[in-house]
Amino acid sequence: MKPRTLGAHGGPAVSPLGLGCMGMSTSYGVPDDAESLRTLDRAAELGVTLLDTADAYGRGANEEFLGRWLHSRTASLRDGLVIATKFGLRHDAATGRVNAVDSSAAWVREACHASLRRLGTDRIDLYYLHRRDPAVPIEETVGAMAELVADGAVRSLGLSEVSPQTLRRAHAVHPISAIQLEYSLFTREVVEGEMLATCRELGIGIVAYSPLGRGMLTGALAARDELTAEDTRRRWPRFAEENIDRNLRLVRAVRAAAESIGCTPAQAVLAWLLGQGEDIVPIPGTKRRTYLEENTAAAGIKLSPDQLALLRTTVPDGAVAGERYPLAALERLGH
């Protein structure tokens, strides 16, 4: 796979498709450690170099899991990987739910060193602010993150789900290599427009999370009842009883378009994202080798302008039912 460089200011070169690791430990059903380890091995074999996690995923469990896998592999393999993690979300000790955002300078350093311990590594290749507390100046947060770069604990900096204005202010303090944003056929409004223009003006890469619409765009889900009791998507608006049937009709339109192209729905929507620009790197998540192999094959699909346009028309503006996050999580976005 031809690498893509995140940002124009010394950011890392990564595979065009990364791997989101969250679901290996939390959220999407019951974890399967053995299969997840095999999936990480297969990702390395296929040349996937960007592995994405966060200290919020399973309250550190996902970082620990990735760290155990790294520890069992050679140093040369580690040197070829770009390990990305995030900080800024705090959890309630009793419920385990996220209950606060902390982007203070003091928490930056504490959170980073805790992540380093869990990952069992001496540096984080790409360190993101996961969510921003609007009461803390972004200059304070990024200034503290820049100190971690100077110390060698972090190589490149990123932000997630901030406004274009905040991104500009942050970039003035220290070069931002990437911003992580939700971007898919189902969620285009977050990136397209002012954010995309700002990133391209400043030379900042876009890492697209949930590029498969949290799995819905793959076509693998036929009904809400197929989600297990442990699957957190049951709480998400687009999977709610009042919305899911409408959204699955859109998925069927995507499937028909993918069949006309000659690929799976997942491959079509990932190839569509890759076709939006060389500065965009999707990170589809999975804990299964079969889905990983299907997803990474999308990097070899070059869609024509007509095919790109066809896929866009399958999900008209405003057609998706439901917000992309529950209300409490929505309130943490875009600051």
Structure confidence by residue, pLDDT tens digits, 146-180: 999 999 999 999 999 999 999 999 999 999 999 99
Scanning the structure block, which residue is given the tokens 């300078």? 105
Q: How far is CA 105 from CA 9, 160, 174, 209, 220, in A?
A: 23, 17, 15, 26, 43
Query: What residues does each domain of the chain span?
Result: 13-330
Is the predicted pLDDT of residue 30 greater than 90, yes or no? no
CB atoms under 10 Å from CB of 41, counted, come to 15
Write out pLDDT tens, residues 294-306.
999 999 999 999 9
Catalytic residue among 28, 57, 127, 183: 57
pLDDT of residue 247: 98
209 is catalytic: no
Average pLDDT, the chain: 96
Number of C-beta neighbours around residue 21 at 10 A: 28
Q: What angle do CA 84, 81, 285 make, to 5 degrees?
A: 55
Record the pTM.
0.97
Query: In whole angstroms, how far apart are CA 243 and each of 165, 218, 224, 247, 322?
Result: 33, 17, 10, 6, 6
- Residue 158 near residue 130 (C-beta atoms within 8 A): no
How many Cβ atoms from other residues are within 10 Å of residue 46's Cβ?
19
pLDDT given for residue 91 in this prediction: 84
Choice between 76 and 93, residue whose per-residue pLDDT is larger: 76
Band (50; pLDDT cuts 50, 70, 90): very high
pLDDT of residue 92: 79
Strand (E) or helix (H) holding 105: helix 105-119
Q: C-alpha distances in angstroms, 155 versus 54, 145, 215? A: 16, 10, 31
pLDDT tens for 207-256 read 999 999 999 999 999 999 999 988 999 999 999 999 999 999 999 999 99
CA-to-CA distance for 283 and 322, rounded, in angstroms? 23
pLDDT band, very low/low/confident/very high, at 260 (cuts 50, 70, 90): very high
Given a cut of 80, whether residue 137 has pLDDT beyond it is yes
State the Cα–Cα distance between residues 61 and 91, nearest whole angstrom. 13
What average pLDDT does this structure show over 103-117? 97
Residue 219 phi/psi, 5° resolution?
85, 0
* Highest CATH level, class, for 13-330: alpha beta
Core vs surface per residue 56-69: b (16+ CB within 10 A) or e: bbbbbbbbbbbbeb
